[in-house]
Each structure stands twice: as C-alpha cells, then as structure tokens.
C-alpha cells in the first residue's frame, strides 16, 4: 500500500492582515522540525505573496474555472500559483452555501487548479439534517463522484471531510463516526480511482488542541483541515505536534 501523506492544513478563511503573519513564525518552527508531515496554510489571497518566504506550503481558498478574463472579484488558479501557493481549497461548505457552488462547478475548478500545478484540498461534508436523516454517506458519495474529475491521484488531490454542523461549532462526530465515515470515503475513492485507497483524507470541523490527538489516532484519518484554531499560532503548532506524534504511533 502506498504511504499516505499526513497533512496539517490551516484555513484562515476571511481573516488575517499583514501583521498577523508575524505570529506564523511559531508554526514554521513546528513545520520545519517535522519532515514526516506536510504543513499548509491556506491564506487570504492578499497575504500569499507576503508569505512566500514561509518555511511551509501555502494555499488559496478558492479559484475560478478560467485562467484569466473578465470575472470581476475572482482569482484564478494560475494567479494563486504565481503568488506562491501550491495548494487550493475547493468546494468548502461556506462556498457551497454562500455562492451556491454546485458539484459540477467544483469539478471544473479542480481541473483548473491541476492545470496550474496546484494540489487540491477538496472539501465534502453533510448538513445537520443530512446527518440526522442518516444520509451522510449518500451525500458524500454524490459530492465525490460529481466533483472529483477523472485523473485525481494522490499527488494532485487531498480530501477533507468536514461535517458542516461541526464547522466552527465546537461539536464533532464521535471518534467511531469519524473513523467509519473516513473508511467509507476510502472505499468510495477506491472504487472510482486507481490510487483511491491511498488518498490522504483529512478531518475538518472544530479540530482543536483539545481533540486533535485522539482524532489523528484514527486509522483512516491522515490529518486535519483546521479553521479557527489555525489563527492561533500556539494552538496550530500544538495540532501539528499531535499529528507528528500520531505518525510515530501508527508506524
Ligand atoms: P473550524 O473550521 O476548524 O473553525 O471548525 C474548519 C473549516 O471550515 O475548514
């Protein structure tokens, strides 16, 4: 079996000014000392160029399907790459909700990102009502099969499973539920893509220094997509340390 890459990815969302990059130095230290894992900070586009010298990967949080053109207010994958990004988050639930992004659009954005040489962090996740109606796996299967193009492989794509009801709420599924869902995502990927079972699958939604260690110990969890806690350099550094420790335990 291919070695699955462990990833700690921060998502700053619409937060962060130039002065906030100063605090990132602490995170950098953790990122440098841990060669077993990859660390990514998905920043607002305004900070990407400034973050070029960071000793970790940076990423954007969305991109347009076109590489340039008359699309006021948008940013292309090429432009993100030009500003130093090597990753991009696509299909985040906030984009799906705020901008009614459909799986078909996300599919085309993924292709645009790959063309620009970016690794895609593709977000999938169910709403609270999907969860309560026990529709989680159906929703995830639909999102994966409709938004992930043929050609996805372990180098160009990372999956982030983020239950929408867990994002920013302090609530998470149980460990058993997270492991079960990640295992099922791996099965779905394995059925549709040659390297499907070896994709890195991150958990996202209220990951914090209080719960990261236990979540990262789960067999089919390969790291986390971290929103709120990634804005606090000490908290994010602790989460990176927890991920590193889990690699030692699982080896
Ligand atoms: P959160 O956000 O860690 O603040 O819940 C995660 C995300 O939306 O990527």
CA 84 to centroid of ligand 1, rounded, Å: 23
pLDDT of residue 251: 57
How confident is the model at residue 1, as a pLDDT? Answer: 52
Ligand 1 atom closest to 225 (CA)? 9
Nearest to 217 by CA among 198, 241, 242: 242
pTM score, two decimals? 0.97
- Which of 91, 228, 235 for a ligand 1 pocket mutation test, highest count of atoms within 8 Å of Cβ? 228
Structure tokens at 32: 């440098």
Q: Which residues of the chain have pLDDT under 50?
A: none
Catalytic residue from among 30, 94, 126, 162: 162
What is the rounded CA–CA span in Å between residue 166 and residue 183?
19
Side-chain half-sphere exposure of 96, counting CA atoms within 13 A: 20
How much distance in Å is there from the Cα of 63 to the middle of ligand 1? 19
Phi then psi for residue 69, to 5 deg, are 135, -170
Nearest CA to ligand 1 atom 9: 227
Structural element, H or E, at residue 177: helix 175-192
CA distance 91 to 94: 8
Q: Quote the Cα angle for 5-113-100, to 5°.
A: 105
* Residue having the nearest C-alpha atom to atom 6 of ligand 1: 227
162 is catalytic: yes
Instruction: Given the residues 64, 92, 107, 182, select the one marked as catalytic.
Output: 92
Give phi and psi for 125, each to the nearest 5: 170, 155
Distance 205 CA to ligand 1 centre (A): 5
Cα 204 to middle of ligand 1, angstroms: 6
Checking phi first, is residue 110 left (phi over 0); if not, alpha (psi -120 to 50) or beta?
alpha
Query: Ligand 1, atom 2: nearest CA belongs to which residue?
Result: 227
- Closest residue by Cα to residue 204 from 4, 5, 9: 9
**Pocket of ligand 1, beta carbon within 6 A:** 11, 162, 167-168, 204-207, 225-229
Q: Catalytic site residue 107?
A: no
| Angle at CA of residue 113, ends 111 and 119, nearest 5° | 110
Lookup: tokens for 74: 């948008």
């Amino acid at each position: 079996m291919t070695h699955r890459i462990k990833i700690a990815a921060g998502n700053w969302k619409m937060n962060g000014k130039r002065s906030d990059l100063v605090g990132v130095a602490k995170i950098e230290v953790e990122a440098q000392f841990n060669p077993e894992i990859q660390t990514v900070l998905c920043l607002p586009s305004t900070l990407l160029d400034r973050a070029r010298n960071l000793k970790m990967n940076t990423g954007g949080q969305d991109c347009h399907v076109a590489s340039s053109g008359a699309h006021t207010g948008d940013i292309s994958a090429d432009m993100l790459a030009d500003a130093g990004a090597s990753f991009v988050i696509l299909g985040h639930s906030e984009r799906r909700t705020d901008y009614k992004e459909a799986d078909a659009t996300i599919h085309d954005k993924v292709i645009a990102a790959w063309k620009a040489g970016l690794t895609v962090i593709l977000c999938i996740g169910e709403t609270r009502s999907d969860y309560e109606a026990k529709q989680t796996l159906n929703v995830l299967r639909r999102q994966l099969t409709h938004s992930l193009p043929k050609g996805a492989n372990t180098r160009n794509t990372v999956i982030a499973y983020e239950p929408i009801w867990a994002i920013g709420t302090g609530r998470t599924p149980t460990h058993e539920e997270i492991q079960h869902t990640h295992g099922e995502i791996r099965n779905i990927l394995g059925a549709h893509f040659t390297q499907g079972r070896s994709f890195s699958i991150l958990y996202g939604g209220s990951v914090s220094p209080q719960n990261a260690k236990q979540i990262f110990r789960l067999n089919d969890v390969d790291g986390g997509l971290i929103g709120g806690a990634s804005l606090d350099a000490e908290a994010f550094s602790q989460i990176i340390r927890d991920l590193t420790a889990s690699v030692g335990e699982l080896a």
